[in-house]
Amino acid sequence: MKTKITAIFMAMMIFVSSSTTAFAGLDSDLEGFLDDIGVMSNISAPGSFQAGGRSVLSGGSISMRMKNNIPPLL
């Protein structure tokens, strides 16, 4: 009986681990796009955290820096 339960558990674990797919979030897609057009960026995903005994909800953030191609006027 114990070996049958172990075999079923192992089969379920193999099925679950093989059925998961790689998932890239919107933040990695956006960061890849911005890198392609030459923009330096830092993107963090939203999430919820426990910090200092309090619950914190974060909406994520994005910061970008673009190269300035405007020649000086003088």
**What are the 10-residue block averages of pLDDT along the chain, 74 residues in total?**
72 58 64 81 82 84 81 78
**pLDDT for position 5:** 76
Residue 37 lies in a domain: yes
**pLDDT for position 72:** 78
**pLDDT for position 12:** 66
**pLDDT for position 40:** 83
Give the Å distances, CA to CA, from 35 to 7, 11, 30, 40, 65.
47, 42, 9, 6, 11
Alpha-carbon distance 34 to 40, whole Å?
7
Q: Which domain holds residue 38?
A: 22-43+59-65
Residue 35 lies in a domain: yes
Evaluate the CA torsion angle 50, 54, 58, 61 in order and state its sign: negative
Q: Which two tokens stand for residue 24?
A: 């890239």
**pLDDT for position 15:** 61
**pLDDT for position 71:** 79
Q: Which two tokens stand for residue 33?
A: 């796009």
Amino acid (1-letter code) at residue 56: V
Residue 26 lies in a domain: yes
